[in-house]
A and B are shown apart, each in its own frame.
Chain A
């Protein structure tokens, strides 16, 4: 079954970091890109960055000012998002989503991971 399975909900304090994991199955992991998209309550989705699962190249949205790191493990077929220096407005559902390496629309999504930032 083609799917992306994400790690569970997290609660973090301001200033901390969070790591969210995404495990891919049912397709050839290295042929696609994995993107991270977040969505705050009642807001539009916001793209954070992506990784080419084949060669490991990454690109990040400048809107996160260096706070985002995306890595992948080809043997485990996982991609991880790390977001540092958390603030309350980072509270959101974080999704991993599969994309083609050349066309960045998302044909497969994880169910999302709720990250709550609260003191």
Chain B
């Protein structure tokens, strides 16, 4: 099973600041098989990025993804108030599909 480890656990930032979230995989993941989700309390996760760097439909361009091999990054260029949430990475390269433990982006 591919284990995904996200860092940091919590990111305390102000609106307008840049957020950089990391996800490290225990084995190499092909770039077409990596995604990021946003989750707010009481809601289902929402797809942000698939295939490492492709924004899902309706996702603003302040969200971007990058990476390869075992190291992947989600960047939010300028935080908007609605971006404060928990973010999960996911690999779908090998079964079982797995998720990271999440990074909470909170207001400083």
Contacts and interface: CB of A to CB of B under 8 A. Distances in A.
Nearest to B57: A107
Contacts of A44: 88, 99-102
Contacts of B60: none
Interface stretch (A72-80, A84-92, A109-117): A109-117
A105 B35 contact: yes
A67 to B, nearest CB: 14
A110 B44 contact: yes
Given A44-B88, A45-B88, A107 B99 contact: no
Interface string A46-79: 1100000000000101110000000000000000
A52 to B, nearest CB: 14
Interface in B19-50: 32-33, 35, 37, 43-47, 50
A105 B47 contact: yes
A45 B98 CA distance: 8
Max count, chain B CB within 10 A of own CB: residue among A35, A44, A110: A44
* Most chain A CB atoms below 10 A, which of B46, B57, B95: B95
B88 A106 contact: no
Interface of B: 32-33, 35, 37, 43-47, 50-51, 56-57, 88, 90, 92, 95-102
24 contacts: A35-B97, A44-B99, A45-B37, A45-B45, A45-B90, A47-B98, A61-B96, A62-B96, A63-B96, A95-B44, A97-B44, A103-B51, A103-B92, A104-B92, A105-B92, A106-B37, A107-B50, A107-B56, A107-B57, A109-B44, A109-B45, A110-B44, A111-B43, A111-B44
